[in-house]
């Protein structure tokens, strides 16, 4: 990879329970301030679970009243987050045909889909189709280049960021708005994940319910979120004097081919994905400053990821953080949100801690960052997403070089 091919991250935008802005999200992460609350997933209040909803959200100022009626809440979150990311980057300079959008989502318009079952109106399909977010972003941002939607469960957001990087590398676009969006806050979603054993369904304190890598972990908390990044060539970013949060240097995706929902127990596919991402970046494993783990808090996923990390880097050899302890799990948007967090960590030289760890699972031999933020030297980091279906995605980010 030549300097001309280096991809810069120049804009960030979020909407999630842990923060309506990037600054608010960062502050809550550094202070281990959980977004969790007891949330009613149905109007009757019969399905109440610990979760991380976006409080007091409104798309006012981003979408008209008519546009709000035509969009699912997930898409509304996406439009707000992506618009903020573009503003943060200083706008999109290339012509419309050289701009691209890549979105990731597992469910699409889940709320609209559930409410429309049996009595769909004329907007039912446009509201719940998975590519609705990509359409609205292309329309709002004047994008006539590649516009793509990826759906690989909880790896969707990371796949979106990685494939966006490839669009720039291969010359198909000069700037890409990439990320994920999800609003899975329906009774059906909560009940299904709860019955599968992946979701925390009961707790004494919602803010302490998400406990990745803890010996007493019981699963994840559903989160609604959107997170977007603006990507462009580093040379172009520097030429226009843009702020560069981090560079994207590596990306890989693998499949476990093991089970529909359970990860390969030894983390073989996860390790292969990290190895391939590092190879793509030209980065040795011992250069990694920290890992932003997938860290769902489910017994099987945490253990498989911990084994993959120990096998690749060595036991407790690299600092690890698990941000879902604060944010919850945004499913298809999770990887994009964690790419944002990893970029901020490199920009600030500070990695947020994993919240709620009481006792590290003795089978997870990790240097888990806890208690408070940890300073890290300039250098590369890796962000992981390991999803249902055995879909693995990893991206390598780095501190911008002079």
Q: Which residues have a catalytic role annotated?
A: 154, 294, 329
Q: Which two tokens stand for residue 83?
A: 């618009």
Of residues 223, 248, 186, 196, the one with CA closest to residue 332: 223
Calpha distance 35→326 (Å, rounded): 6
* Region of 205 on the Ramachandran plot (φ > 0 left; ψ -120 to 50 alpha; else beta): beta
Could you give the count of Cα atoms lying within 13 Å of 172 in the half-sphere of its Cβ?
Answer: 15
Q: No. of H helices and E strands in the chain?
A: 13, 15
In angstroms, the Cα distances linking 235 to 171, 174, 229 are 14, 11, 17
Cα 286 to chain centroid distance, Å, stands at: 25
DSSP 63: B
Q: How far apart are CA 161 and CA 385, in angstroms?
A: 12
- 229 bridge partner residues: 12, 178
């Amino acid at each position: 990879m030549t300097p001309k091919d280096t991809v810069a991250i120049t804009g960030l935008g979020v909407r999630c329970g842990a923060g309506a802005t990037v600054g608010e999200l960062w502050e809550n992460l550094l202070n281990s301030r959980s977004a969790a609350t007891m949330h009613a997933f149905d109007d009757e209040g019969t399905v109440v679970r610990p979760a991380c909803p976006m409080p007091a959200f409104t798309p006012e100022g981003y979408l008209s009243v008519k546009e709000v009626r035509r969009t699912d809440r997930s898409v509304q979150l996406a439009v707000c987050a992506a618009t903020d990311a573009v503003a943060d980057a200083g706008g999109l300079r290339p012509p419309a045909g050289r701009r691209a959008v890549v979105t990731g989502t597992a469910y699409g318009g889940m709320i609209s889909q559930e409410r429309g079952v049996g009595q769909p109106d004329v907007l039912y399909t446009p509201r719940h189709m998975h590519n609705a977010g990509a359409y609205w972003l292309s329309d709002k941002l004047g994008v006539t280049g590649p516009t793509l939607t990826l759906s690989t469960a909880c790896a969707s957001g990371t796949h979106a960021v990685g494939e966006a990087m490839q669009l720039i590398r291969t010359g198909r676009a000069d700037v890409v708005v990439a990320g994920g969006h999800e609003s899975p806050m329906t009774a059906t979603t909560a009940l299904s994940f709860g019955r599968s054993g992946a979701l925390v369904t009961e707790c004494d304190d919602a803010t302490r319910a998400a406990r990745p890598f803890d010996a007493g972990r019981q699963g994840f908390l559903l989160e609604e979120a959107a997170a977007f990044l603006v990507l462009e060539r580093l040379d172009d970013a520097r030429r226009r004097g843009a702020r560069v949060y981090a560079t994207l240097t590596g990306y890989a995706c693998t499949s476990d081919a093991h089970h529909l929902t359970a990860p390969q127990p030894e983390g073989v596919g996860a390790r292969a994905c990290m190895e391939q991402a590092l190879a793509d970046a030209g980065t040795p494993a011992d250069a990694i400053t920290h890992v932003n783990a997938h860290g769902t808090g489910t017994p099987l996923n945490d253990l498989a990821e911990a084994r993959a990390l120990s096998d690749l880097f060595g036991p407790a050899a690299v600092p690890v953080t698990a941000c879902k302890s604060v944010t919850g799990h945004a499913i298809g948007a999770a990887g994009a949100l964690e790419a944002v967090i990893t970029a901020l960590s490199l920009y600030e030289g500070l990695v947020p801690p994993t919240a709620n760890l009481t006792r590290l699972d003795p089978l997870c031999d990790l240097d888990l960052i806890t208690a408070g933020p940890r300073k890290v030297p300039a250098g590369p980091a890796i962000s992981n997403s390991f999803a249902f279906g055995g879909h693995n995605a990893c991206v390598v980010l780095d501190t911008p070089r002079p």
